[in-house]
Amino acid sequence: MAKNLATDMAPPFILVAHYMIAGAIFYAFTAFLLPFYANEVSGYFLSSSIASLMHLYLLGFVMMVIFGAMYQLVPVVLEIPIFSKDFAYVQFYMFVGGILIFTFGLRDENYTQILPYGAMLMYVSILIFITNIFLTYRNITRWDIVAKFILVSNIFLTIGVTIGFIIALNLIYGFYPDILDLVQMHIATTIFGYVIMTIMGIGMILLPMFSLSHGFKQTAIEMAFYTIITGLVLFLIGTFFKINILKFGGVLFSTIAIFFALYQMYLIFSTRIRKQNDFWAKNMMASFATLIISFFILLTGVITKNDTYYLLFGFTLFFGFFTFFVVGHIYKILPFLVWYQRYSPLVGKIKVPMLNDMVHEKVADIQFWITLVGLLLAISAIILKIPLIFQVGTVIMGIGTLLVIYNIYFTLVYGIEELENYNKGLKNGGN
């Protein structure tokens, strides 16, 4: 599969680095805010303060990294250049500004009036991204399952961010009475329709490539594709028209789709050549385990109608599944991008490093276990409703984010001094 990657179609490394570095900073920022939310563990799961934190994390970290990865992977995997690199830079700066303004306005009631401006900046920036992707698709010639996932997920993203913008305006002007219905539709389309569908799609490229898997069937992921679309459509119709049977059917189909995707991931891992459990493999196993756990928590919440389970579901999904999946792939994608930009022209001329050399493996391993311990403590605190344990757990998670940032820095500066010496030698007439 790696041989089919059209790396010459990739955008400049600096573009993708913008998104990866900003995502890591937002990740750390969110993690160090978490201890101050300790008293929220026994509160209402849809409070404005929790909504502010979740948006900061989802938009600033998860979606920021996904956007950067998409700008790299869409042209490389689909073998078509991105429509506009300039659009991508404009989107980045608008998106960062929108996130900061929106989440601050949502968190502090004294500044609620700035909320629509932040929402507008984010809305326009995401529409720029979606337009860039759609215009890129004009030249596509190969419609494989990855291309389908990316296209449909961006359709759901369009719906989701439009609903989100309406919600932001409604918080100020109050023109739509059933705001909880809008919130549910917004969550379904953005988290399940975009983030999880995108992860399913790009997972079919990244997981086989990084685990050196081959020879597996793709029936399960194809079933997941059609099943999750069916589930989301049923859920949206059922929620909007208040038809509970359709809404329930949507949840059921979406859940089945998740397990189809998990089975596909199992098939990929079962055929991998690289059997050792390195830092990437550990993150992947932890991400899929927390995804399964989060859905059992959600099912418990639906049955018991207890808000604590909804809060626990969101926390486990966001800070378990999303964190481990995204961080694990940062450790693989970023070194590859740096290696390709810095070392690929020098292959055969000097000794070039392996990708694993460009990540401090011991730090990555420590970061994994610290993050896992902190997550388990925080989850226990939510169940037991003990704020102090939540603070301890989230502080430990915060330490883990600093180790992620250290490893990103380690990758970005790796080998710079040696290359400078090599270039000096060329200028002085050396070989």
Is the model's pLDDT at 6 over the cut of 80?
A: no
pTM above 0.85, yes or no: yes
Residues 19 and 64: their CA atoms lie apart, in Å, by 6
Burial group, residue 260, by CB count within 10 angstroms (0-12, 13-18, 19+): buried
Q: Is the pLDDT of residue 283 over 50?
A: yes
pLDDT band for position 2 (cuts 50, 70, 90)? very low
Q: How far is residue 126 from each of residues 75, 109, 170, 270, 379, measured CA to CA in Å?
A: 18, 25, 20, 37, 32
Q: How many domains does the chain divide into?
A: 1
Q: Are 193 and 232 in contact (CB under 8 A)?
A: yes
Q: Is residue 380 part of a domain?
A: yes
Indicate whether 399 belongs to any domain: yes
* Residue 48: partners with Cβ closer than 8 Å, 6 or more residues away: 106, 107, 109
Q: How high is the pLDDT of residue 427? A: 65
pLDDT tens digits for range 312-337 = 999 999 999 999 999 999 999 899 88
Each residue of 271-285: b (16+ CB within 10 Å) or e?
ebeeeeebbbbbbbe
Give a yes or no: residue 388 inside a domain.
Answer: yes
In the DSSP assignment, the letter for residue 276 is S
Residue 411 included in any domain: yes
Rounded CA Rg of the chain: 22
- Mean of pLDDT values over 148-176: 94
Q: How many Cβ atoms from other residues are within 10 Å of residue 198's Cβ?
A: 24
Residue 3: how many CB atoms within 10 A of its CB? Answer: 4
Highest mean pLDDT among 95-99, 170-174, 297-301, 343-347: 95-99
Q: Would you say residue 145 has pLDDT above 50?
A: yes
Q: What is the mean pLDDT of the chain?
A: 89
Q: Is the dihedral of CA 208, 213, 214, 217 positive or negative?
A: negative
The SS3 call for residue 347 is strand
pLDDT at residue 98 in the model: 97
What is the domain extent for residue 318?
279-292+307-339+353-415
Flag whether 334 is in a domain: yes
Lowest average pLDDT, out of 48-57, 60-69, 254-263, 273-282, goes to 273-282
401 within some domain = yes
Given a cut of 50, is residue 122 above it in pLDDT?
yes
The three-class DSSP label of residue 348 is coil
Is residue 166, in this structure, part of any structural domain at all?
Answer: no
Averaged pLDDT for residues 34-41: 86
In eight-state DSSP terms, residue 353 is P
Question: Does residue 118 lie in a domain region?
Answer: no
Of the candidates 264, 173, 182, which has an alpha carbon nearest to the alpha carbon of residue 218? Answer: 264
CB 285 within 8 A of CB 277: yes
**Collapsing DSSP states into helix, strand and coil, what is residue 274?**
coil
Q: Please provide the DSSP assignment of 167-186 as one string.
A: HHHHHHH---S-HHHHHHHH
Name the band, by pLDDT with cuts 50, 70 and 90, for residue 43.
low
- From 338, 349, 334, select the one nearest 415 (Cα to Cα): 338
- DSSP of 125-140: HHHHHHHHHHHHGGG-
The encoded tokens of residue 195 equal 């983030």
Mean pLDDT for 207-232 is 93
